[in-house]
Amino acid sequence: MKKVTTAFLFVCLALFASLRLCAQESQNWSYDFEDAKKAIGDQHKKLELTLNGLKWVSYSLRCNGDADDYVDGKGSARIYGEKSYMKEMPYLQLKENKPGGIGTVSFDYRAYKKHAQKQIAWILEVSEDGGTTWSPVGNSFTPSMEVSQFSRRVNVTEGLVRIIRADYSSFDLKNGKKFQSAFNIDNLAISDYEEEEPTQPVLKFNEPEIVFGEMHKGESKTLKAALTYKNLVNQAITINIAEAGKAFFSVQPTTFTPEEPAGVLELEITCSPSSLGEIKSSLAVVCGELSAELQLSAKVVREKGVYIFGGGDGTQESPYLISAPEHLWELSTGVDEDKNTFAGKYFKQTADIDMSNYKNMTPIGTNFGVQGTNNRYFSGHYDGGGHKVSKLTLEFNGKNYIGVALFGSLKNARIEHLTLSDSRIKADAIVGGITAAIIGSHISDCHVEKDVTITATKHSYAGGIACGAFGEPSTIEKCTSAATIQVTSSMGAGGILAVNSVQGSSISKCVNMGSIYTRSGQIAGIVGYIEDGPITIQDCANTGKISSEGSVACGIAGLLQPGIPSTVNIAYCYNAAIVEGTDEVFPITVGAVDDSQTFNLKNNYYNGDVYKITSDKPLYGEAMTAAEMKSETLLKKLNLGRDFYPWEIFEGKNDGFPLPFGDGSWQPTATKAIEVVEALFCVVNGKLIVPEGMHSVAVYAMDGTSCSPEQLTQGACYIVRAINSKGESVAQKIVIPLF
């Protein structure tokens, strides 16, 4: 009996051992997603899942839902590479250790048909420390419309795995704006851990991350990382920084071929940041099917008083070079945070600059804060080099954020040769295109294009080039604005300058081509409102529509504040556009409103075809037809009798109306080919002799340059222009004899 019992026990133990072995061998796990609609659902939020007995966690994952999904059977999973309002990176991650360890991970995949053209790269990663650090397993994969099988050997006794977008270390969640880049997963399987063979290749970093810590722009720092390799003799290893991080990080060496069975390669990684904030990237090493990844990070902070531009030292001979949006941001920050006026410093823009990634940059010079107590001025010399600043968005709200433009506040500054395009500028008050507030400054050859909008939403003023001139007289010359200007509440607007509040300002050779609107308050094509003077406006034009729902609207210059005993000079200007409003409208200006004011007006013209008389007051200009204004008729009126002819008609510009940007070489048709028949003028010893009764004499070489009547060259030809005793303009070509 004992023998039978002993034999029976032996058989039972053998059977138990066999069953245990079978149980160990049966830890391979798989999930075919057939019940995905119930187990996963159709919500692409963060999900805690139990799939065939294993716990998983996911984000941006849902079950299949339409005919564009790939499905092997009834169900599959769809994971989005990007989604609206992203809070995490898209992933599917094992949350607990799988019994039996992790050997090989495999699954079938294909692009979601609707997103076939917008696929991204994904990668399988493993963590052996509970999810604190992750390492890639093999190369990344990018889904296509061809069904593919993914298979990677992980082989860890304990660990977690995840599928995640490959660029997660550098992808900005804020870029997630819509559902796209989705692909389908089916037939997910994980085999058990297998004992490593002695010859198994190894490629791994000793640490998962290199942290450079705090750095300054322009600084360089080099740190070392150890890469362990094994059983890779004579196999090339490539070492690369992720594409998005190449602007900040570099590595040496970039290739390595082991000559010994095992060893450690020391890598030198350098960080050279050119912008502020947190910067992250990764370094990937690849050898055949093996790969390893190292995370890289740094925090870049400003160093007060140190500015990184594109070159130069700020002198007139070697100006600071501005060629990128971060250079304008650097200038803005220097003025705003360091209160550096850059007085005596020179800047030169060397390329067109797109500001789309710098929304709501602080204007260069501001009085943001409690009004009038925290002024920061720019006082340097900025030469735009004929280049553009585009896609500038400045939208501020509240009384502590007024004075908004590319340059917020200028004092004794000079801005020239600069164009603003495709931009949106908006604030409660004091809003401009090139600059908001100017004090004793000069703006020349600056332009605001028609795809720019300038809006003041509360109480006061918006201007195309500048908003307000204050404190010390300023000059604006050779500028144009085609912007759409709106003041949606009270006060006023001007195509070039909204308001002048200082004695002695000058606006010359400027043109407004954009529409201007104000709900109420003063408005005009060139200067909207004059709080103080004298002010001179010469050789200016308006061809943009002027509209006001209240108060006075004018074509060139608005109201001089009542009670201010001052002078306004307007000469050689015209208005060709509609001026409309519910109150009085004037084609040129309203003129003096009391006896203490003087308006000196000379040679000003307006388009009688569009102007409707709404006042019995003087119109201060001569009416012409639109056809006359686009012809030599207006050119003669604007040019003749002057020492220099600034006005010309340029083909395809300003709808055919004249512009004050000529080189002086224009000649009236009747005098273009005058030959010497009966001399009006004579030359003695190289000096021009002018007959009695002639005045306003000007001499030009044949290339249009102005010449001195005292120093004429033998044998040369000149054009002499003058006004005779009858007030007529005469012109004659003369040849200087040899003497």
What pLDDT, in 10s, does the model give residues 621-636?
999 999 999 999 999 8
Among 359, 310, 306, smallest CA distance to 333 is for 306
C-alpha dihedral, 712 to 716 to 722 to 724, nearest 10°: 100
What is the reported pTM?
A: 0.64
Alpha carbons 306 and 316: distance in angstroms, whole number: 19
Q: For residue 15, name the pLDDT band (cuts at 50, 70, 90).
A: very low
How far apart, in whole angstroms, are the C-alpha atoms of residue 346 and residue 318? 8
pLDDT reading at 47 higher than 70: yes
Check residue 2 and give its pLDDT.
Answer: 42
Is the confidence at residue 70, as pLDDT, over 70? yes
Report the C-alpha gap between 250 and 283 in whole angstroms: 9
Average pLDDT value for residue range 306-317:
93
Candidate from 187-191, 332-336, 617-621, 696-700 with smallest mean pLDDT: 696-700
The closest of 64, 32, 70 to 147, measured between CA atoms, is 70
Beta bridge partners of 149: 108
Residue 333 to residue 1: CA distance in whole angstroms: 97
Token pair, residue 2, equals: 């004992």
| CA distances, 462 to each of 372, 414, 458, 487, 703 (Å) | 19, 21, 11, 6, 41
pLDDT at residue 703 in the model: 62
Residue 721's nearest CA partner among 636, 659, 661, 650 is 636
- Structural domains of the chain sorted by starting position, each given as residue range(s) with its CATH number in brackets: 29-191 (2.60.120.260), 202-301 (2.60.40.10), 320-656 (2.160.20.110), 682-736 (no CATH)
% of the chain with per-residue pLDDT over 70? 91
**Which has the higher per-residue pLDDT, 670 or 666?**
666
* Range with the largest mean pLDDT of 245-259, 292-306, 652-666: 245-259
Strands of 493-494's sheet, edge to edge?
431-432, 462-463, 493-494, 523-524, 553-554, 585-586
Strand order across the beta sheet in which 237-241 lies: 209-216, 290-301, 277-287, 237-241, 255-256
**Tens of pLDDT, residues 162-220:** 999 988 877 888 777 889 999 999 999 999 998 866 677 889 898 888 999 999 988 89
Highest mean pLDDT: which of 402-416, 455-469, 640-654?
402-416
> ∠ at Cα 437 (334, 312), nearest 5°?
35
Whether the per-residue pLDDT at 393 is higher than 80: the answer is: yes
Contact 209, 294 (CB under 8 A): yes
Q: What is the DSSP letter of 197?
A: P
| H helix runs in 275-402, sequence order | 325-336
pLDDT value of position 678: 47
Inter-residue contact 290 to 203 (CB < 8 Å): yes
Lowest mean pLDDT among 251-260, 378-387, 683-692: 683-692
Question: Rounded mean pLDDT of the chain?
Answer: 88
Average pLDDT estimate for 139-160: 92
Let me know: does 142 contact 93? Beta carbons within 8 Å.
no
| Residue of 75, 45, 40 whose CA lies nearest to 59 | 45
What per-residue confidence (pLDDT) applies to 120? Answer: 93
Q: Give residue 31's pLDDT.
A: 96
List the one residue out of 316, 245, 231, 252 whose CA is nearest residue 279: 245
Average pLDDT value for residue range 543-562: 89
pLDDT band for position 672 (cuts 50, 70, 90): very low
SS3 (DSSP) at 526:
coil
Three-class secondary structure of residue 437 per DSSP: strand
Query: Does 27 have pLDDT greater than 60?
Result: yes
Q: Encode pLDDT of 280-310 as tens digits.
A: 999 999 998 888 889 899 999 888 888 889 9
* DSSP 8-class letter at 510: -
Letter string b/e over residues 50-72, b meaning 16 or more CB atoms within 10 A of that residue's CB: ebeebebbbbbbbbbeeeebbbe
Q: Are 493 and 465 in contact (CB under 8 A)?
A: no
Instruction: Report pLDDT for 249.
Output: 96
